[in-house]
Structures are given as C-alpha cells and as structure tokens.
Chain A
C-alpha cells in the first residue's frame, strides 16, 4: 500500500508553522489579480477563505447552494469556539489546547496540524472581535468564557447560544465587502456537480444554477472546497437539509483521496425523534451539560414521571462512571453511555430512546433567572419543538449524528493529493482525529480560512506551471457532458419511489449497522445492503419535473446518489479499522468496562481511500501518524 506525504515541516513542533510560513513562496502583489481562485462553500471555512483571498487581491469565484452565503450550516453552531487566550488565568496555553484536542481526537490526528490550530486560535478571536462579533462580555467589558466537554479549563468564547451564527455573519460581512469591491463574485443557489481536472491539476468546477437549471463550467487556477460535512448520509442528523457530500465526492471520484470516512461523531444531546415523518434532529448545545445532570431511572421500564422518581432511584451514570469529568465527558463517551442505558431498557420517553437532562439542581442552586440567562434560548427552542418546558420538566435527549471527522485527505498545506485542490473546514479530515471536541470545529474552519490557506495557496500559485485553463479542453467538455447526462438519467428513470424514500432507507441501514456501535457482522451487512439499494435507486427512483427549472427533487436526487456511494466506503473503512477509537466504536474492541480499545501498533494511521473506478474496489493509502511530542495513552476521563 502506498504511503502519503503530509509535507509536515521539520523542526520542533512549536516552530513548524513559523518555519513553513518563512519557506513559502510569495506571489507578487501586482500579480495576484491575474489569478482566479474558485471557492466552493460559504460556511466559516469558505467565507473566511474567500474574503481573505479578496483582501489579498486575488479574483475569487465563490459558490453556495443556499440563496445567500449567510445561510451555510455553520450558522447553526450554538455552543462556542475555543481559543488558548487563557483570559481566565486558569492555566490554559497553546500546548494545553493542542493536547486536549489531540487527546479528544483519540490520538488519530496529526500533531503538527493540531498544534498550528491551537497556535492560531487566538488570532481568530481577535479577528472576529474586530469584525464586530458580539461575543459575551463580563461586566467589566472583557470577554467571557465558558467550559465545554473534554476540557478542564474555561476557554470557550460564545455569543449567547448563537456563536456559529455570529462568527459566520462576521465572515459573511467581510465577504460582502469584497463582493461590493468586485474582488469576489458570488454565486448563490449554484451547486457544484463536478470537479474539472486538467493535466493532473484541479482547474475548475461544473455547476448547476439551481434556479434556471443551467449547467456551466468555471475555470481558475486553484479550487478550494469548503463544503462542510456529510452527516446527512444518515438521513437524520443535526445537519441542515441541504448538507451533502456531493462536492467532496465528485472530487474523490476525480482522484482526491477520502480519508477516515468512518469517524462519525454522534452528539449526545439532541432532541429525540418524535415520529416517522421526522426530517432532521435538533441539537441542544453541549454547553447544557455544564449545568444539567444526565440520568435515567435505575429500574428498567420505570413508567413514573421524572418528578415522581426519588433521588435514590436515579442513576446519574456519567457522574458515576467518570467522576472527574462527570457530565462533561467527551461526546463519543457520553453518547455511547446513553445508548448503553437505553439498550438496557432504562431509556425514557417514546420508544425508550431518551435520557433525562435535568436542570432542577442548578435552578435550585443558581435560581431560574441565572439559568434562563445562560440557556434561555435553548430552553425556548426545546419547548417549541417538544411542547415541554425544561424549567419544570427535565429535558429528554438522545444521541444523533452530528459531525464527520473524515473528509478529503489534505497535507499540511491543506492541499489534497490532487494538485490545486484545497480542502477546508469540515470537508477535510485534518484536525480532529477520531473525535472532535466541542467548540473546535468553528475554530478549525476559521483557522483554515483566515490564517492557513491565504499563505499556503500563494505558495502553490507562486510555484508556477499554471498555463491559462483552456475551456475547450476535452476534459472540460467531458465533465460538463457527464453532469448533463447524469441529470437526464435521474429524470428519466421515473420509477416508483421518491428520493426521500431511498434516503430514509439508506439512513436506516447506516444507523442500524454503522452507528454508535459497529461489529464485523453489521458492517458486512451494510456493505451488502447499500450497493443493492444503490442499484435499486438507479432503477426505481422517481424524480419529477425537468432539468431547466427550479427542481428541488432533482437537487436531492443527485445528493442521495452520492450518499449511496459514500455509505459503502464508510462501512468499508469501519470494517477495515479493527480497533475502537473516538467516533468509531467496534463492539469487538472494548475494555472490560466498555471503553474504546485502540490498537496503536497497527492502526495509528490515517486511512486515505482512492477511487479506482465504477464498481471497482477502493485502494487504501496510509498516512502513518507519528507522535513525537506526546505520549499515546488510553484516554481517561474518569
């Protein structure tokens, strides 16, 4: 199996990024306007990158499928963003943030990337503040912090329960400034449906205008994908309805390696599903675990209402199992513990798929007003959805698919193995290893976009060798023709089942077999069932309407078709990884007390899968993970 070069700079960990920045080639400022960079995505990663490129003087073409860039799914992040400012004087440092993130990722991320992330984290807070992001403040006017899962220091910055929204709006505003100045050309409601590769380099994309249906090719000097995560593969997830893998998947099919697809984060605090028709699951910010206590009745099938269950008959299982971290144990651990409780018949609510998140003790201690100030909008949201008031009735929560640590493989410079294709944010695999800690995805997206890619892309461009992309090149025409043909095919099947029907089926297979606890058998089952479902899809899907118009079913169909391929790869990756780590839990590999058991000797690598063609097996490439600065150990949050 080939190994991959991550191009990590040599030298001590703390100096690597400085060294890389010194070694990078620079583009002459006067020449920047001669380069065109295509940025797909306007989330934290995409918007920050596109606006930064514009500020530097590049021409930027920026795409998103929503009606405006401000709606990218980063908007939904509630809890906060980490940074090693150590404003609280509680012993935080770049090193500690780095260490917590590596450990949180169950030692499956690159040291150098994570260190750089921790290093630039402080700049992000400065940048966002300068943009006018209204972070929470103390009475004295300084920034406030809260603590978050997986950390013992208080380093999370937040803007009420809308941190992602505010950070995204900050980035969006900077982006709009560049659009006004003419440096960025914005294409909303435009979906990338293929990557154009000319002579081995990524040079453009094929898109569909979602309003008119027009298929078009855009060419440039580099392509940056910041297209978010693929949690919607499971149908029900905390992602937005439109979140998809299409951009990344199309790039994968054009040669970009897909890394660690099996690392899926299941978030412990989501609102349980209410019925068949459920279209998505809603996350309740993990920050709730700061003041809420998680419990289930000790007796299976206890039908009493929660206030009737006396203290002694409740099992605060996280506090019991993990006395140090208690309710703040990392997500994967908290999720699995909830599943174990429900599997044991202790679950509450409809179908026994839920556990209590109880605020009554905090309300007694701090008063309803203080709790309301901290979580008011989250409580309102819960109340709106369930019709129950968390001030009086404990919340019911259940885990749901939330974040995908896997993604396109990138090197230290965030470039994929395809020259000229850069991947940022949740769409890449880089910084979170096997599990992402809370408040670190926002950090990563903005670090990538504001502080990494503006440097590294310049190096790629300055190295030259880029002739003007030729629109009449056969590969360009072929890509465009393939997109058109695929649309026609989808519309022409006119079968029996709707796109959603297939998507739900796929979701069920995934959740049942490739969910929180995976086994060899369940994975093999999935690997059999998914291709069968895929075949059925291509024979029996019904997509109404025509190409040349606003056609939301056609949009969905293309996305589900790609999920049907990704699902198989994800299952194969999970089957291949004979260990448990972070968001990948194989029931065969656990300790006596049910904790994940890693196998560092054999699996301390990133698995980068290579597409070899339709209906052909993927090739596995490995990037060994070398830990020079920290000791690998069993994660313990006890």
Chain B
C-alpha cells in the first residue's frame, strides 16, 4: 500500500454543502428527497388524469382549474423542475461514477441475485426523463411536430387524440411501466438513503414499494387503455 493518501475528513475551507453534494451519501440523500417530491407529483397527476373516465366536462374543468390557479401551478412547476434536475443529475453522476469504478467489465457476467428494478434504475430513470420531455411537447405545449391538431384549452380532446396513435400508446405504456419499475425499487431504497433500515419495517416497505410501483403503473396504463377500449372517447 502506498503511504501517501488524500487528506482526511472534511477539508476546512470547502463549503459543507459542496462536500455533501460531492459525496455518494449526499447525492443519494438529494436523490431520495427529490424522488419523494417527484413521487408526490406523479401520484397527484395520476389521480387528476383518472378523471378522464368521468368525461370531458369534468376533466376539462379540472385542467382549467389548474390553469387558473397560477400561483399553485407555477410553484409546483418550479419545484418539480428543480427536483427533476437535481434528481437526474445525482442519478446520472452516480451512474457515471459506478462505471468509472469498474473500467474492466467482467467477461462472465455477474450472477447477480439482485432485483431487475435495482439494476436498471438509470435506464428506467432516463426513460422517464425522455418521456417527460416528449410528454410536455405532446400534451402541455402541443408542439406541432409531436401533436398535430392540438387545441389549447381542451385537455380532454388532446388526451384522446394522443392515444389514437398506437405508437404513442406503446411509448406511454412502456414509459409508465418503466416508472413503475423505477419506483418499485426507489420507494424502498430511499429509506436506506435517509439512513433508515429496520428489521421490522424494511421488509414491509420493500413489499409496499413494489405494490405501489405496480398499482401506479396500472393506474397510468388505464388511461391509454381506456381510450383504446373506447371508455374515454370524444
């Protein structure tokens, strides 16, 4: 072993915050907190979206209500965007570090007993990111390239239109399944990132995370499915 080493604990002059953000534990902490915020959003969002089953009037009223409460919507947007950026940056950086930590891959793949969801966080995360970008263009901004015939103010129409395209149904479907997978690990691992693990509580948390992931994915899937099945129609 070489005797020369990096300096130890907590360099005096550097800001605590940057040391924290730089550390693996800090990044995970940020990832967990922002992940919770994002999770709260996707829960609220799916509940709102499910109103589509109650018909155009109800759904559009809900959309209108959101549009009209500017304070609420912009606060949410800013917080969510910030959370997303922090969350994605932390996740991507952790992934890059992990890659750098094993420059020579195994020639025989590890016979890894870990869950698929835990090993694919970066991919389900990136998928979610790509989905969000596309989804904003599709249903919020109504960019012509993505969504022709977009009508501002008629959220219900736009939604039904979207799922008339089978390509979009598939993409939305895959994405929300990805999100479900992401959360089925994320909702368990965030506790660990916050330093909480307990022989009594961790096993049910692990199960609940999977359950929530699955339920959430199904709830989201039900909307394109509803359109395809004709339950949600113009």
> Contact between A68 and B5 (Cβ–Cβ < 8 Å)?
no
CB within 8 Å: A-B pair count:
9
- At the interface, yes or no: B101 with Cβ under 8 Å from chain A? no
Instruction: Tell me if A185 counts as interface (CB < 8 A to partner B).
Output: yes
Residues of A within 8 A of B8 (CB): 180
Q: Which A residues between 503 and 525 are near B, CB-CB below 8 angstroms? A: none
Residues of chain A contacted by B5 (CB below 8 angstroms): 180
Q: Which residues of A contact B3 (CB under 8 A)?
A: 179, 182, 185-186
Write the chain B residue with the least CB distance to A182: B3
Seen from chain B, the residues whose Cβ lies within 8 Å of a Cβ on chain A are 1, 3, 5, 8
**9 pairs from A and B in contact (CB 8 Å cutoff):** A68-B1, A179-B3, A180-B5, A180-B8, A182-B3, A185-B3, A186-B1, A186-B3, A188-B1
CA distance A514 to B46 in the complex (A): 82
Instruction: Provide the bound-state CA to CA distance between A179 and B4, in Å.
Output: 9
The distance in angstroms between the C-alpha atoms of A188 and B3, with both chains bound, is 11
Residues of chain A within 8 A (CB-CB) of B1 are 68, 186, 188
Which residues 181-227 in A have Cβ within 8 Å of B in the complex? 182, 185-186, 188
Q: Which chain B positions have C-beta within 8 A of A182? A: 3
B2, closest chain A residue (CB): A186
Q: How many angstroms from the CA of A68 to the CA of B8 in the assembled complex?
A: 20
| CB of B142 to closest CB in A, whole Å | 61
**Bound Cα distance from A562 to B49, whole angstroms:** 81
When C-beta atoms are compared, the residue in chain B nearest to A176 turns out to be B1
5 further contact pairs, Cβ within 8 A, besides A182-B3, A186-B1: A68-B1, A179-B3, A180-B8, A185-B3, A186-B3
Closest to A181 in B: B8
Interface of chain A, helix or strand or loop or mixed? mixed
Q: B5 — nearest CB in chain A belongs to which residue? A: A180
Q: Within the complex, what minimum Cβ distance (angstroms) separates A93 from chain B?
A: 43
Q: Which 6 A-B pairs have the closest CB atoms?
A: A185-B3, A188-B1, A186-B1, A179-B3, A186-B3, A180-B8
Bound Cα distance A202, B179 (Å): 70
* Shortest CB distance B130–A (Å): 45
The answer for the CA separation of A179 and B3 in the assembled complex, in Å, is: 7
CB-CB < 8 A to A188: which residues of B?
A: 1
Which residues on the B side are within 8 Å of A185 (C-beta)? 3
Give the docked Cα–Cα distance between A182 and B3 (Å).
8
Q: A569 to B144: give the CA distance in the assembly, Å.
A: 95
A188 CA to B2 CA, complexed, in Å: 9
In whole Å, how far is A358's beta carbon from the nearest beta carbon of chain B? 35
Contacts of A179 in B (CB 8 A): 3
- A185 CA to B5 CA, complexed, in Å: 12
CA distance A179 to B1 in the complex (A): 10
Compute how far the CA of A68 lies from the CA of B2 in the bound complex, rounded to whole angstroms. 11
Q: Considering the complex, give the chain B residue whose CB is closest to the CB of A69.
A: B1
By beta carbon, the residue of chain A nearest B4 is A182
Chain A: CB-nearest residue to B3 = A185
Tell me which of B1, B3, B5, B8 has the highest count of chain A C-beta atoms within 10 A of its own C-beta: B1
A188–B5 Cα gap in the complex (Å)?
16
Q: How far is the CA of A182 from the CA of B1 in the complex (A)?
A: 13
Q: For the complex formed, measure the closest distance between the CB of A185 and the CB atoms of chain B, giving whole angstroms.
A: 5
Q: What is the bound-complex CA distance between A179 and B5, given in angstroms?
A: 10
8 A Cβ contacts from A133-190 to B: 179-180, 182, 185-186, 188
Task: List residues of chain B with CB within 8 A of the CB of A180.
Answer: 5, 8
Q: How far is the CA of A186 from the CA of B1 in the complex (A)?
A: 7
State A186–B3 Cα separation when bound (angstroms). Answer: 7
Q: How far is the CB of A308 from chain B (nearest CB, A)?
A: 41
Shortest CB–CB separation between residue B84 and chain A, in angstroms? 41
Tell me the minimal C-beta distance from B1 to chain A in angstroms: 6
Q: How far is the CA of A185 from the CA of B1 in the complex (A)?
A: 9
CB-defined contacts of A186 to chain B, threshold 8 Å: 1, 3
Residue from B3, B5, B8 having most chain A Cβ neighbours under 10 A: B3
Please give me the residue from chain B that is nearest to A185 by CB atom: B3
Contact mask for chain A residues 586-597; partner B; CB cutoff 8 A; 1 contact, 0 none: 000000000000
**Distance of A120 Cα from B8 Cα, bound (Å):** 35
**Complex CA distance for A68 and B1, rounded to whole angstroms:** 8
- Give CA–CA (A180, B1) in the complex, Å: 12
Kindly state the separation between the CA atoms of A182 and B5 in the bound complex, as whole angstroms. Answer: 10
Residue of A whose beta carbon sits closest to that of B8: A180
Instruction: Please name the residue on chain B nearest to A187 by beta carbon.
Output: B1
For the complex, what is the distance from the CA of A592 to the CA of B87, rounded to whole Å? 83
Contacts of A68 in B (CB 8 A): 1
CA distance A188 to B8 in the complex (A): 22
Min CB distance, B166 to chain A, in Å? Answer: 57
- Distance from A122 Cβ to chain B, minimum over Cβ atoms (Å): 33
CB distance from A150 to the nearest CB of B (A): 40
- Assembly CA distance A68 to B3 (angstroms): 13
Nearest CB in chain A: distance from B8 CB, A = 7
Bound Cα distance from A180 to B8, whole angstroms:
9
Q: A186 — nearest CB in chain B belongs to which residue? A: B1
Question: Using a CB-CB cutoff of 8 Å, which residues 68-98 of chain A contact chain B?
Answer: 68
The CA-CA distance from A186 to B2 in the complex, in Å, is 8
Bound state CA distance, A180 and B3, in angstroms? 8
**Whole-angstrom distance from the CB of A587 to the nearest CB of chain B?**
50
Query: Nearest chain B CB to A68's CB is how many angstroms away?
Result: 7
CA distance A621 to B2 in the complex (A): 43
8 Å CB contacts to B: which residues of A103-138?
none
CA distance A185 to B3 in the complex (A): 6
Within the complex, the shortest CB–CB distance from B3 to chain A, in Å, comes to 5
A585 to B109, CA, bound (A): 56
* Minimum Cβ distance to chain B for residue A62 (Å): 11
